[in-house]
Structure 1
């Protein structure tokens, strides 16, 4: 890692924290009975695809030193982290808080839903395509519980 990149990373971290939105796009926690689980799973799949694209673009820009490339690199990092955070929020505030309920296969469901959170966290922390693969696989396991409308 170059000295220039080492000095740039803390600034990048501060930018991401400053621009991170605390708002959640998960459904409300009022017992309205209006749910579309499949749409949320599909949205998480789209988030994972965006994370994959971001990592691909980050790798393509990694060696470039011009300001425009550094700007784009920063934007891809922020985008990757935003989409990973969205997955974590939806899993925690929508699925785990509202949809996964004690009953049949409860422990199995908890583990599979938590695996998505862990995979999203690892994808957020790294630029490794294996993390994206694990995230995609974890999300795909949820399709056994939630029908995705085409």
Structure 2
């Protein structure tokens, strides 16, 4: 089962910058793995999800943690697989002629945090993030109780 948890956070001053830095770095991970895959696609090569994922993984695993890098690469691969599936359907005539599938796009670096389900938990009124590379463990309180 897939789920998305969206919360509005009011972080203490000492950890206020961490979610922003985390979002910037995970955005860079997305953009870099997407660039490698886009380059393969545009040059007519097979898009090798493992190779591009490993390149980005080695570069960023210490900054945001290995699980975070893996999740971003997996989410990007899902987008590419969907693109290829739609491309096949378009070529076989399942879609109208005006429909043109597009590969995943690039992200603004400060708008993306993707975490694996074991990297966060909610205890009472705190969101606890862990396994975030150089950031370690982070506790933040939400502005409201509506999770």
Fold match by TM threshold 0.5: no
**Which is bigger in relative contact order (C-alpha 8 A, separation at least 6)?**
2
TM-score, structure 1 as length reference: 0.33
TM-score, structure 2 as length reference: 0.34
The structure richer in helix per residue is 1
